[in-house]
Chains A and B, each alone.
Chain A
Amino acid sequence: MIRFENVGMRYGAGPEVLHDVSFDLPPGAFRFLTGASGAGKSSLLKLMYLFHRPSRGLINIFDRDLSTLSRDELPELRQRIGVVFQEFRLLDHLSAFENVALPLRVAGRSEGQIRKHVGELLEWVGLKDHLNARPATLSGGQKQRVAIARAVISRPALLLADEPTGNVDDRIAMRLLYLLEALNKQGATVVVATHNQALIDRFDYQRLHLEDGVLHAQTPPRAPRPEPRGGGLGLGSRR
């Protein structure tokens, strides 16, 4: 799915923020990307969602060598990647429905498909009564679910979440992780960047740990995760 080999990255002419990063991510994997603020988690995610190119090293995504890809080939790959941004990055002038529909519109799906899938997904994340709500009128948790719905609406093979629990309380953060876990069980490869150690410790997934731009050995799973308690997110199968 994803392979990094000795990847380095810098912003413009600035110092290198990632040094010799190497790892493999098989299809269907679930990984936490950990590290303190400024360790390079967001930078590594930016490379993974093809927002930046590495300054050195090799990146292979979906069996495509990034260094050989032209700019025109990137949109097709990006459509296979779903991203939940730290600040959600919802478009304030669009309704929840239209925000979630964006990836489908970009992919050129028909209006009928869009109405069907977006409606189903928003119902699945518990927002069927907020289809026409603007982001400004939604709570933090609701915005987050809209952002997640937008990230998964086109059934991406790779789902990346950048500090998705940063703006919500622990209860909602747990629900979110159960939701991501459910998506992973449906086949998506998931990478969640977070520095919320307490939350990570409740799951037994492997971690990619960054320290000052250096990726350390993947740590083994720790304590078993707790059983999910009902969260009202409707985590049953949607397909």
Chain B
Amino acid sequence: MSARGRAIIPFAQDPAGRLMPWLIGFMTFVAGLALAGALLLHDFAESWSQGLADSMTVQIPPPADEMGDAVAAEARLDRAVEDAVRILADAPGIAAAEPLPGSRIQALLEPWLGETLDPASLPLPRLIAVEVADMQEVDLAVLRQQLQTVAPGAALDDHGLWRARLVAFLQSLQLVGLAVVAVVILAAATVVLFATRGGLLAHHETIELLHLIGASDNFIARQFQRQALRASLKGGLGGALIAGLTVIGLGYAAAATGAELPGPAVLDWPDWPYLALLPLATALLSHLAARRTVLRSLRRMP
């Protein structure tokens, strides 16, 4: 910009230059949503993973002769559950062990068995919900062995496999989100590249004149860099702001439904700086793209 506020190269007269902030703004908005999605998935993965790591489930199957004497079998199952709960409660690293009531088990099975079938008529296993205080202290092998002594066939599920699969799935989604962010930022840089090429053509005579009065390639490149930086910041900040407001709005809308969400509905505070960095990253890349494009083009001039 010259001293009197007028650009040496009249970018304002350039249609591609005028469109650039809008295009970059839209792209930053899309990238912002993708980034917010990736960050939310990260928070989800952490929240779920932590929740699953803090709990285990013990499943005690009904005795094999349950069909012969139902009452005796039920009593043996009750004893097995009580013994298992005692073993679990005494084990190091375990905070609490609580048998799931029959009604809860029925509720869990209802989606599969339907309401018409009486779950009590089926030989259902008993479940014990175990709350872990410190997973490091829990010796799963010893615990499984001890449970086998009081309840043959008992299964201790530490959710490790489920947790690993869930985290892997969420991480894949996160990567997809981050890839979208990268692609959109690169697309924004490409927009700058083509707008800069258009600007070089549109302002060819001005650039030639600047060369003739002794302007270096760097001087001319700086004019384009500033223009790209201004347009990118203008569009990028606008796009990121709208993306941020959209994310907040969606979070509140999700919270307002009253549904129990498996993770946070709104981005955590430490996530927001990443969203704020997005327009800066776009502006920096645009700045570099403009510089590279101009310098490469000017190299072909005399």
| Contacting pair B213 A95 (CB below 8 A) | no
- Counting CB contacts under 8 A, is B211 at the interface? yes
A94 on the B face (CB < 8 A): yes
B53 interface residue per 8 A CB criterion = no
* CB nearest neighbor in B for A103: B213
Majority-rule SS of B interface residues: loop
The digit string for A135-152, where 1 denotes a CB below 8 A from any CB of B, is: 000000000000000100
Which residues of chain A are within 8 angstroms of B213 by Cβ–Cβ distance? 78-79, 83, 102-103, 106, 150
Interface residues of A in 94-140 (CB under 8 A from B): 94-95, 97-98, 101-103, 105-107, 111, 114-115
Structural contact, A72 and B216, CB atoms closer than 8 A: yes
Q: How many residues of A contact B (CB 8 A)?
A: 33
Task: Give the distance in Å from the alpha carbon of A102 to the alpha carbon of B220 in the complex.
Answer: 12
Query: Contacts of B216 on A, CB cut-off 8 Å?
Result: 72, 75
A52 to B208, CA, bound (A): 12
Residue A71 interfacial (CB < 8 Å): yes
Using A106-B214, A150-B213 as known contacts, say yes or no to A93 and B13 having CB atoms under 8 A apart.
Answer: yes
> Of B4-12, B124-132, B189-197, which binds chain A?
B4-12
Inter-subunit contact B205/A78 (CB<8 Å): no
Answer yes or no: B277 CB below 8 A from chain A CBs: no
Chain B contacts for A75, CB-based, 8 A: 211, 214-216, 219
Q: A91 within 8 Å of B by Cβ?
A: yes
The residues in A between 74 and 95 inclusive whose CB is less than 8 angstroms from any CB of B are: 75-81, 83, 89, 91, 93-95
Q: List 22 A-B contacts (CB under 8 A).
A: A49-B212, A51-B302, A52-B302, A71-B217, A75-B211, A75-B214, A75-B215, A75-B216, A78-B212, A78-B213, A80-B214, A81-B214, A83-B213, A91-B209, A95-B4, A97-B4, A101-B3, A102-B210, A106-B210, A106-B219, A107-B214, A150-B213
